[in-house]
Amino acid sequence: MVVGRPGTDQQVGLTPAAVEPLTGLEPKPAETAPARRERRRPRPVDALVVAGYLGLAVLLTAGQWGRPDRLFHQAGDQILFEWMLAHAARAVTGGEDLLHSTALNAPDGVNLMANTSVLGLGVPLTPVTLLGGPQVAFLVAVVACLAGTATAWYALLARRLVRSRPAAAVGGLCCGFAPGMVSQAGAHLHMAAQFLVPVILALVFRPRTDRVRRDGVLLGLAVAYQVFLGEEVLVFLALAAGVFVGAYALADRAAARRLAPVVARRLGIGALVAGVLLAYPLWVQFYGPGHYRGMPFYARGYRLDAASFTAVARQSVAGDGYRAGLLSPNPTEQNSYFGPFLPLLAVLVVVRLWRRPLIRAVAACGLLFALLSLGITIVVNRHDTGLPGPYRLLAGVPLLDLVVPARFALVCVPVLGVLLALALDRVRLRSARAWAPWAGAVAAALLPLVPTPIRTVPAVPVPAFVTDGAWRAYVPPGRTLVPVPPVTGAAVSPGMLWSARAGLAFTAPGGYFIGPQGADDPTARWGAPDRPTSLLLRRAAETGQVPPVGDPERRQAIEDLRHWRAAVLVQAGSAPDDPVRATVDALVGPGRDVAGAHIWDVRALLG
């Protein structure tokens, strides 16, 4: 969370000419303006570093390129984001509403601002989505998030913090490809899209005091854009920046007093610009159709085990899937998992460079957010100690009480990246002979954490009835295609994948999203409110038995199908002895086989 170029270690804290982040002091007199411009000019090594980041990101997604039959292991989340990317492309090309869609959850639609719609990725990726489909767009987005975050941190480190390009490259690698980033990238694009975080920090903490208005406007634009990438990351960024500023002010009061006015003006202008741009989208999110209150799950339950900070994630070369799974709330939230050596190395760096205000501020920020990720009470190696964690202080704060505690550990990722870069840079400046031992220590800490390709699982095939457009003959305008069984809760929605892969060409009920309990109850829930027929078909699917079906069930089915505005029901991979198929037959009459599916045309039945 830093943005100024330090001088050599001997200068720090000794003279007013020392260039320490957040001091706002000018470079040393010996550094002329041409020399500064030369240092900031891109070098060939920069292109090699960025190419390396891109290559690694592509390698991590290798299990899906050219494989439409595969999804990352958190399949439901990938389906969600494929649908969001497909929606953005359709909205851009068709002039539809970006913030709300009726293509899902018929007839009510979905408030996309209140869900993770990642419009900041979906809109610019529209050409990719149109040409390659939503799966290709999703993979491109994952590569952009990982490599883009690493590149942004590398640029910030190289331009403002360190003189050594190798040190900056190692720091960027840690920031973009840490276990937590890879864990999130396979499922949560909104958490992995952190490439604007260094940009925002650079604008807030720019050491020069000129061009305040320009920096403030750019800051407002960047903040507004980050909202359309992921609001949760922005919340973490704001909290971390506040903690960093407070800790730095305690370490260097003179610098804090000098810079406070200019930083305040930048923030004020940025808040005004962002407020104007976000006023309507945030109104839609909190008060528009389909808005909700709270979360549909117990967010506080997603906390980290303290032992996870020295464990190795499943997606790392030295990882153990069983052990890693025991210490995390789920495979996507392995946000710490820094291995046994990296935390120790970070402690050594902090102790060795403790005199520097920057190090103290960064260390305080990392320590506090690591503690916050432990939740209300601290768990060590799956044993709840009963000791209160600092998250207890935030548990009742509006908005912050909705944050998943385990994700606070993601702030530790750039903290570690910055510490590594500063340590390597300092060693290289002081002694070339000391570089090799330190480089070896960093390698020993990072090698066990080298990420492996993100795991994939088989995807339920999209029926040819959907992919070849045969459904169009059955679904007139204003009517819907109903997947069987209809998914109205938190379960994975195959129909949502069908919709995404078909470019949202048809409307469907249900889906995987967060919405209100009902028109008069904004309490959050997964998916649409359950209908009796969807519950009946779900029971058949879960029990493997055909439930009793009489006239009351048939009348209810007609009512539910009218509510959904159904035209055709579609079941993929159906077999004659399938209990769900037999239940639908009992409700609406026999269907017929088509390419890759079994369908029931209910247009005549509903009138």
Confidence of residue 18 (pLDDT cuts 50, 70, 90): very low
Question: Which range, 286-300, 426-440, 494-508, is most confident?
Answer: 494-508
Q: At 168, is the pLDDT very low, low, confident or very high (cuts 50, 70, 90)?
A: very high
The DSSP string of 76-96 is HHHHHHHHHHHHHHHHHHHT-
**8-state DSSP, 448:** G
- pLDDT tens-digit readout, 31-76: 334 434 444 677 889 999 999 999 999 999 999 999 999 999 988 8
182 touches 315 (CB < 8 A): yes
The reported pLDDT for the residue numbered 491 is 64
Tokens of 359: 């190090």
> In what helix (H) or strand (E) does residue 337 lie, and over which residues does it extend?
none
CB neighbours of residue 87 within 10 Å: 27
pLDDT digits (tens, 9 = 90+) for 148-159: 999 999 999 999
- Residue 30 has a pLDDT of 37
Instruction: Identify the band that residue 22 occupies on the pLDDT scale cut at 50, 70 and 90.
Output: very low
Q: Check if the beta carbon of residue 425 is closer than 8 Å to that of residue 353.
A: no
Instruction: Characterise 22 by phi-psi region: left (phi > 0), alpha (psi -120 to 50), beta (else).
Output: left
What's the pLDDT at 36? Answer: 45
| Type of residue found at 374 | L
Paired strand residues for 451: 316
290: CB partners within 8 A, 6+ apart: 100, 108, 109, 110, 111, 114, 515, 516
Establish whether the linkage from the previous residue to 485 is cis, with ω within 30° of 0. Answer: yes
SS3 344: helix
Give the integer Cα–Cα distance in Å for 126 and 88: 7
Strand partners, 570: 483, 599
Identify the residue whose tokens are 């003006």.
265
- Taking a C-beta distance cutoff of 8 angstroms, is the pair 313, 326 a contact? no
* DSSP state letter for 388: E
Kindly tell me if the per-residue pLDDT of 28 is higher than 60.
no
* pTM for this predicted structure: 0.92
Instruction: Indicate the average pLDDT of the chain.
Output: 90
Inter-CA distances, 104 with 76, 201, 493, 556, 564, Å:
15, 37, 11, 22, 11
Q: Specify the DSSP class assigned to residue 184.
A: H
Q: Is 281 helix (H, G, I), strand (E, B) or coil?
A: helix
* Residue with token string 């109205």: 488
d(C-alpha 247, C-alpha 553), whole Å? 64
Q: Of 20-29, 138-147, 248-257, 367-376, which range is least confident?
A: 20-29
Residue 154 tokens read as: 């590398």
Cα 372 to Cα 365, 383, 397, 409, 421: the distances in Å are 11, 17, 14, 8, 25
- pLDDT at residue 2 is higher than 50: no
Most confident of 1-10, 31-40, 135-144, 491-500: 135-144
Helical segments of 288-383, H only: 321-326, 342-352, 357-372
Confidence check: pLDDT of 595 > 80: yes
The answer to whether residue 17 scores a pLDDT higher than 70 is no
Q: What is the pLDDT of residue 163?
A: 92
> Which tens digit of pLDDT belongs to each residue from 242-286?
999 999 999 999 988 999 999 999 999 999 999 999 999 999 999
d(CA 355, CA 326): 39
The pLDDT tens digits for 468-499 are 999 999 999 999 999 998 876 666 678 899 99
- Quick one: what percent of the chain has pLDDT higher than 70? 92
> Which helix (H) or strand (E) is 72 found in, with range?
strand 70-72
For residue 383, what are the β-bridge partners? 380
| Out of 189-203, 348-362, 520-534, least confident range | 520-534
Segment 19-23 mean pLDDT = 40
Task: Give the per-residue pLDDT at 13.
Answer: 30
Give yes or no for a cis peptide into 579 (omega within 30° of 0): no
Tell me the per-residue pLDDT of 387-445, one tens digit each, with 9 for 90 and over: 999 999 888 888 887 889 999 999 999 999 999 999 999 887 666 677 788 888 999 99
Mean per-residue pLDDT, 368-387: 94
